[in-house]
Amino acid sequence: MDFTFNEDQKLIQQTIRDFAETELAKVAEKMDKEDYWPHDLFVQMGELGLLGPTVPEEYGGAGTDYIVQAIILEELAKVSPAFALSIGAHSNLVLDNIRRNANEEQKKKYLPKLCSGEWIGALCLTEPQHGSDALGMETTARREGDHYILNGSKTFITNAPLAQLGIVYAKTRPELGAKGISAFLVELESEGVTRGKPMDKMGMRGSKTGELFFDDVKVPTENLMGVENEGRKIVMSGLSAERATLAAISVGISQRAADIALKYALEREQFGQKIANFQMIQDKLANMYVEAQASRLLVYWALTEIGRDHRANVPAAASIYYAAEKSTKIALDAIQILGGYGYMKEYQVERFARDAKLLEIGAGTSEIRKLIIAKDLIRKGKFEL
Ligand SMILES: Cc1cc2nc3c(=O)[nH]c(=O)nc-3n(C[C@H](O)[C@H](O)[C@H](O)COP(=O)(O)OP(=O)(O)OC[C@H]3O[C@@H](n4cnc5c(N)ncnc54)[C@H](O)[C@@H]3O)c2cc1C
């Protein structure tokens, strides 16, 4: 295995790092304090050609892979995990999903606008009564001539307050349960679509989250994505790609929080010496290094597996389960190393801790990720690494 980046990947890493450390850094605190969405930076990402890393160039994308997608999210998350989350939802949950599952006409119609930043995308799976049990969804799409009639609601949807296009999952044959799900490309300015107010969150502020209501929305039959009643496969393969790529946000958080803690430990003096000399501080720093590095390796390994086979749900679940829990721990330990200053907004680690927690919940909770891993082990009956 080779975990070093090639020259092209290094170039993209440097481009996105420069963008994050200059442009994004100017608004990262404002995003958190005012729940502010920097739309101009989203458009700038489009101009840099970074919104569709896995989308072929003919549709306006960069024509690269999941590793590049992760590099982008990791670098953005070191400055603003919230911005990284919105970009991840747009680029991976929506654009990559369309790349994998849409037909040629649909790709030509929607991908260029989404890659340029003219349109924002949202992936609409979760419902008020169906989170972990997502396949139990109640939203329905009834076929009537050349349209489907969509009814239901979705909640906790990243980018919903801003998006022009949603991938919406609905039951076309409710009596078949999970075998009656279909995926639709829904233009969110359509008649019958309404949006709730952006939700007021603990962290990831500035990344807009909201509800969507569908009341007799007419969706043309040509906007069915994939095969009718086979949406379950799209949901499940989408969740694997989503988990492994969003885990890169946790990796970015871990690195930046650990870096802030190390710098502080090398400067702060108590009892006449640097606090980095105290072994209990060293214990935390050493754990941070091992846990951040292990997260990173798991995430890039899982992404390689997903790139080969979209059913690689166990590596995907393992990577985000571990990276997310460790990034919350690392951010909390960073607060501890900074003492009272860590508890203050100025030092940023408290923002990283609040943002980190989301990755233990969104894209399937830690508990669901562990169930995926354990069920697979039990099914195989052997422990293969
Ligand atoms: C900021 C944010 C952004 C999001 N973005 C999106 C998005 O873009 N698109 C989208 O579709 N969704 C999105 N979500 C929704 C997210 O995927 C769900 O919140 C998540 O799947 C959990 O569902 P729930 O919140 O309904 O919790 P529940 O499913 O009600 O879970 C509650 C608790 O019960 C536990 N639990 C549930 N079932 C089991 C079980 N079988 N065994 C053990 N424990 C269990 C859970 O682990 C959790 O601890 C987002 C959520 C947030 C907070």
Nearest CA owner, ligand 1 atom 48: 365
Examine the pLDDT at 307 and tell me if it is beyond 90. no
Q: Are 200 and 277 in contact (CB under 8 A)?
A: no
Distance CA 343, CA 358 (A): 19
CATH for the stretch 232-380: 1.20.140.10
Band (385; pLDDT cuts 50, 70, 90): confident
* Pocket of ligand 1 contains residue 53 by CB under 6 Å: no
- As a whole number of angstroms, the longest Cα–Cα distance in the chain is 80
Distance CA 207, CA 158 (A): 7
Band (237; pLDDT cuts 50, 70, 90): confident
Band (34; pLDDT cuts 50, 70, 90): very high
The token pair that represents 165 in the structure block = 């296009």
The answer to whether 242 is a known catalytic residue is yes
Q: Identify the H or E element spanning 220.
A: strand 209-220
SS3 (DSSP) at 144: strand
Distance CA 303, CA 160 (A): 26
Would you state the pLDDT for residue 138? Answer: 98
Average pLDDT score over the chain: 97
Give me the DSSP letters along 30-42. Answer: HHHHHT---HHHH
Q: How far is CA 368 from CA 129, 231, 241, 246, 251, in A?
A: 16, 20, 16, 16, 20
Nearest CA owner, ligand 1 atom 31: 132
Distance 346 CA to ligand 1 centre (A): 31
Q: Are 174 and 180 in contact (CB under 8 A)?
A: yes
Amino acid at the residue 243 = R
Q: How far is CA 303 from CA 187, 298, 317, in A?
A: 30, 9, 11
Q: What are phi and psi of 344, to 5 degrees?
A: -90, 145
Nearest CA owner, ligand 1 atom 6: 157
Mutate to test the pocket of ligand 1, among 157, 158, 365 (most ligand atoms within 8 A of CB): 365
Distance CA 109, CA 93 (A): 18
Inter-helix orientation angle 231-267/81-88, to 10°? 160
Q: How far is CA 337 from CA 119, 184, 272, 288, 349, in A?
A: 42, 48, 17, 12, 10
Would you state the pLDDT for residue 351? Answer: 98
Average pLDDT over residues 198-220: 98
Distance CA 127, CA 111 (A): 26
365 Rama sector, left if φ>0, alpha if ψ -120 to 50, beta otherwise: beta
Would you state the pLDDT for residue 309? Answer: 80
Using one digit for the tens of pLDDT, what is the confidence trace for 5-30? 999 999 999 999 999 999 999 999 99
* Pocket of ligand 1 contains residue 209 by CB under 6 Å: yes
Distance CA 29, CA 80 (A): 8
How does DSSP classify residue 274?
A: E
How many CA atoms lie within 13 Å of 18's alpha carbon, on the beta-carbon side? 7
Please name which of 204, 241, 268 lies closest in space to residue 32, comparing C-alpha atoms: 204
3-state helix, strand, coil in the chain (%, to 5): 60, 15, 25
Mutate to test the pocket of ligand 1, among 86, 212, 361, 371 (most ligand atoms within 8 A of CB): 361
Q: Are 354 and 202 in contact (CB under 8 A)?
A: yes
Say what the pTM is: 0.98
Average pLDDT over residues 344-361: 97
Distance CA 28, CA 80 (A): 6
Would you state the pLDDT for residue 328? Answer: 98
Using one digit for the tens of pLDDT, what is the confidence trace for 192-206? 999 999 999 999 999
Q: Are 221 and 146 in contact (CB under 8 A)?
A: yes
368 Cα nearest atom in ligand 1: 47
Q: Are 80 and 203 in contact (CB under 8 A)?
A: no
Band (311; pLDDT cuts 50, 70, 90): confident
Using one digit for the tens of pLDDT, what is the confidence trace for 126-176? 999 999 999 999 999 999 999 999 999 999 999 999 999 999 999 999 999
Amino acid at the residue 69 = Q
Would you state the pLDDT for residue 317? Answer: 97
Count CB-CB contacts under 10 A for residue 290.
11
CATH for the stretch 122-229: 2.40.110.10
Q: Where are the domains of the chain?
A: 7-119, 122-229, 232-380
CATH for the stretch 7-119: 1.10.540.10
